[in-house]
Amino acid sequence: MTNNTHTRTIGDFSVINEQTIKTSCSFKFRPIDFHGKYWSRSGIVADFFAEFCIQPDKENAESSKSSIATNVNEMIENTAKYGDPPHHYCEVTLVLYDNYHLIIEINNDTSQENVESLLGLIDKIQANPIKTVWKELRKQRKGKTDEEKKTTSGIGIVLAIKDYEASFDFCVDQDNHLYHIQTKLLLNLNLD
């Protein structure tokens, strides 16, 4: 990979143009903070973000909280699994707009191998119906070890698109041998 920036978008982010921010929250962590016996921390953080962002009087509040928690949890887990080196700091930020569209943004560093795998997955998603990509990924992962499954990752991204109609924006920058990835997931909480 050469020293440049790759930007790929899946879906439409124009729905947040000119919207007012209702609330936002950020959290810094290290991938190593979620490894091994600390894996459950991901769900705790995800539940916190869901509670923080959604007012109890919002119509379908519980469904919205579930959507937020599921997607934040998946993105934190991916950050923890693919963060390289595992001791660097990552950041997750949630921004809720007045129209109940939510941006979940993760900033992370990773390896060239992980970037190439991600870009390959994005190419598949952009070239095929999402249900086809979903079936293919599930088929590839059958019978594989956890380590082998890393090379066929993408289940969370595909699931977010398939089940939550999420949009994604990926920006990858290379800095020497590290690759910085900014991932934005856009959820429409009005669909819940």
Domain count, the chain: 1
In a domain? residue 158: no
In this structure, is residue 121 part of a structural domain? Answer: no
Residue 119 has pLDDT above 50, yes or no: yes
In the predicted model, what is the mean pLDDT of residues 148-166?
A: 84
Could you please report the per-residue DSSP string of 12-76? --GGGTTPPEEEEEEEEE-GGGGSGGGTTHHHHHHHHHHHHHS-TTSTTHHHHHHHHHHHHHHHH
Q: Is residue 70 part of a domain?
A: yes
- 84 is a domain residue: yes
pLDDT of residue 192: 62
Instruction: Report residue 4's pLDDT band, with 50, 70 and 90 as the boundaries.
Output: confident
Q: For 8-17, 28-37, 148-157, which range has the lowest pLDDT when averaged over its residues?
A: 148-157
Reported pTM? 0.90
Domain that holds residue 99: 5-110+167-188
Task: Output the domain CATH number for residue 22.
Answer: 3.30.565
